[in-house]
Amino acid sequence: MRDVYHEELNSIGSTLIEMTGLVGTAIGRATTALLEADLQTAESVISADDAVDALQQQLDARALDLLARQQPVAGDLRTIITSLRMSADLERMGDLARHVAKVARLRYPDVAVPPQLRDAIAEMGRIAGELAQKTAEIIDGRDVNAARELQDDDDAMDRLHRELFGSLLDKKAEFSTETAIDVTLIGRYYERFADHAVSVAKRLIFLVTGEPI
Amino acid sequence: MRDVYHEELNSIGSTLIEMTGLVGTAIGRATTALLEADLQTAESVISADDAVDALQQQLDARALDLLARQQPVAGDLRTIITSLRMSADLERMGDLARHVAKVARLRYPDVAVPPQLRDAIAEMGRIAGELAQKTAEIIDGRDVNAARELQDDDDAMDRLHRELFGSLLDKKAEFSTETAIDVTLIGRYYERFADHAVSVAKRLIFLVTGEPI
């Protein structure tokens, strides 16, 4: 009986890693869709988010079932509660990737991002994908050190986000209001994606060390 | 022993209602700070959010302690897990009110919202406050019907949010890029505040009826 129980606990961990992989792929593809005005890719990112939502629902149902049937204490209880919270973060990261793809779709066949801001958005997309990749490794290896280092990548994202506003406000560029709205929202989506990756990493630190978040 | 236990469960419910009251007050005062360029009110909203965060931490600690000590099943288990999720929504609503107040502070002594958009923002603030008020009553009364009706208020918020973008894009208005950025973010904060209120209401429906979210 206890073996099945621990298999189920492990399978929750695997699902978290799978969800992290999916949202990492999604934010990378959403960035491509956005910068290339690639409608097909945008559509596929939007519809693929259903798989992330489904995984979250399955994971949460299994976690609640384990809580009810096994009445775990101490470390196992902490693992299950933390998994529920991580799955909420990951589900939200999926939503944010979908939001980026929706901006691409809304402006198609135009490119929502003006040429002067392409590099900044590409870099935000790259960092977001890297954060997801590292988050998967952190969960897989229960790697507290890597989890602490993730904060640095998020600092880079925050810096890019501030610079993006600076570029938008550049008097010489004279961006349209539509561009200002689009880029403000897109920037916010990437920044929030990164925040949730950091949140997952902090939860992993709590899980392993008991340090409050 | 079981009486203490149920007292503790009830006190978790009371804390949720208290948090809802605080974030409702916060979004109302943040709206005032924003529309009146009232720095003192903005500062007080920003610092008051610490109390919401502290309540969330206390609530979560008590909920985890109950899970570990009492190993609840069925309805009580569902109550505790749902409470953890509601507290996460409410904590986020506090953050969003703080974000609105921060825009007010950033632009002081100017008003971040241009005259043409005042009414729209005032109305979004009013609906957000009303959603919080209703959410408190819904939790307090475990009121499934009121929880279902909350969706209508959120629809009104979504409509206002769309109209806000339309007003921003009005060619005749010629808003500055700074205004476009500010109003885009402010609109997003109110819309997300409303989304989280709806999320709390849906969780209440799940809690009472078992209907999946």
Nearest CB to A68; choose among B73, B84, B88: B73
Closest CA to B151 of B171, B134, B174: B134
**Residue ranges of domains in chain B, CATH in brackets:** 2-209 (1.20.58.220)
What would the pLDDT profile of B145-172 be if each residue is shown by its tens digit?
999 999 999 999 999 999 999 999 998 8
Q: Which residues of chain A have pLDDT under 50?
A: none
Q: How many CA atoms lie within 13 A of A190 on its CB side?
A: 32
Nearest CA of chain B to the CA of A71: how many Å?
A: 5
Give the per-residue pLDDT at A2.
63
Report the run of H or E that residue A61 belongs to, with start and end: helix A39-70
Chain A contacts of B77, Cβ < 8 Å? 64, 67-68
Give the per-residue pLDDT at B210.
84
Chain B contacts of A73, Cβ < 8 Å? 68, 71
Q: pTM for the whole thing?
A: 0.97
- B82, pLDDT greater than 70: yes
Give the per-residue pLDDT at A1.
52
Q: State whether B181 and A188 contact (CB < 8 Å).
A: no
Residues 6+ apart with CB under 8 A from B86: B16, B139, B200, B203, B204
What would the pLDDT profile of B29-49 be if each residue is shown by its tens digit?
999 999 999 999 999 999 999
- DSSP label at residue A173: T
Q: Give the three-class secondary structure for A143.
A: coil
Nearest CB to A177; choose among B67, B168, B188: B168
Mean of the per-residue pLDDT values of chain B: 95
Q: What is the 3-state secondary structure (H, E, C) of chain B?
A: CHHHHHHHHHHHHHHHHHHHHHHHHHHHHHHHHHHHCCHHHHHHHHHHHHHHHHHHHHHHHHHHHHHHHHCCCHHHHHHHHHHHHHHHHHHHHHHHHHHHHHHHHHHCCCCCCCHHHHHHHHHHHHHHHHHHHHHHHHHHHCCHHHHHHHHHHHHHHHHHHHHHHHHHCCCCCCCCHHHHHHHHHHHHHHHHHHHHHHHHHHHHHHHHHCCCC
Q: Which two tokens stand for residue A33?
A: 């869709």
What would the pLDDT profile of B40-75 be if each residue is shown by its tens digit?
999 999 999 999 999 999 999 999 999 999 888 888
Q: State whether A181 and B165 contact (CB < 8 Å).
A: yes
What is the value of ipTM here, to two decimals? 0.95
Q: Whole-angstrom Cα distance, residue A11 to residue A15?
A: 6
Give the per-residue pLDDT at B1.
52
Chain B contacts of A76, Cβ < 8 Å? none
Chain A contacts of B212, Cβ < 8 Å? 57
- B188, pLDDT greater than 90: yes
- For chain A, helix, strand, coil in percent to 5 are 85, 0, 15
Interface test with A, best of B181, B190, B192, B203 (most A CBs within 10 A): B181
Mean per-residue pLDDT for B74-93? Answer: 95
Query: How many other CB atoms are found less than 10 A from the CB of residue A178?
Result: 15
Helix B177-209 × helix B144-168 angle, to 10°: 170
Cβ atoms of B138 and B201 closer than 8 Å? yes
Rounding to the nearest 10 degrees, give the CA dihedral for residues B140, B207, B193, A156. 130
Q: How confident is the model at residue B80 (pLDDT cuts 50, 70, 90)?
A: very high
Nearest CA of chain B to the CA of A161: how many Å?
A: 13
Nearest CA of chain A to the CA of B30: how many Å?
A: 20
Closest CA to B128 of B148, B105, B100, B109: B100
Q: Whole-angstrom Cα distance, residue B12 to residue B72?
A: 15
Using CA coordinates, name the residue in chain A closest to B78: A64
Q: Which two tokens stand for residue B90?
A: 């409410």
Using an 8 Å CB-CB cutoff, list residues of chain B that contact chain A. Answer: 57, 64, 67-68, 71, 73-74, 77-78, 81, 84-85, 88, 165, 168-169, 175, 177-178, 180-181, 184-185, 188, 212
Q: State whether A177 and B188 contact (CB < 8 Å).
A: no
Report the run of H or E that residue A37 belongs to, with start and end: none
Chain B contacts of A191, Cβ < 8 Å? none
Give the per-residue pLDDT at B2.
64
